Amino acid sequence: MSNYFLCWGWATWRDRWQTDYDLNMTKWPEIRDSKKYKNWYETNKECESQRLIFEKTYQGIIDTWDYQWEFACKLNKRISILPTVNLISNIGFDENATHTKEDNQFSNMVTKEIIFPLRHPEEVKINNKIIKKNMDNSKLNIIYKIYQKLKNY
C-alpha cells in the first residue's frame, strides 16, 4: 500500500470516481491557502513540486486529468494498492499521443503474470519505500523539469 498515486495501469471504484474526482480542483485554493497540502508529502521538495503542479493544473496551464485525481486522492486520504509485479505496458508513446510524444523509461515496459490465488497481507501498512525510490528517480525528476520549464516560461 502507498499513499502515492500512480496514473498508469490503475483502477478505482466507480463511487470514488463519481464522488471524489473534480476536474476543476475547486477545493485547491482552500487547501493551498491553508497549506494543508504540506502534510501530504514527506519532503519540502515534494511539497513545492506538487504545489506548483496543482497550481498550474488548477489554472489550466497543465492539460491533464491525473493531477486532479492525485489531488482528490490526497484530499480524501485514499491509498493505492501496488501489485508485486508490473501488469501494464503503455504503448501510446508516439507523435499521435496527447501527452506522451516521446519514448521514455515508462514506455513499453515488460509485464509479468500475477500469481493466483492472491495473498493478501494480514494488515494494511503504508510502505512508500519502493514507490519513493522510483519517484525519486523518475516522477520528481520529471516534476522538477516541468517546474524549471514553467519557471522559465
Averaged over successive runs of 10 residues, the pLDDT of the chain (153 residues) comes to 72 91 97 94 88 96 92 91 77 75 72 86 74 52 53 53
Residues 15, 47: Cα–Cα separation, whole Å: 28
Locate the domains of the chain by residue range.
Answer: 14-152
- Listed residue (52, 148, 142) closest to 105, CA to CA: 142
Rounded to a whole number of angstroms, the distance between the first and last alpha carbons of the chain is 37
| Reported pTM | 0.72
Please name the residues in contact with 4: beta carbons below 8 A apart, sequence gap of 6 or more. Answer: 80, 128, 131, 132, 135
Residues 54, 73: Cα–Cα separation, whole Å: 13
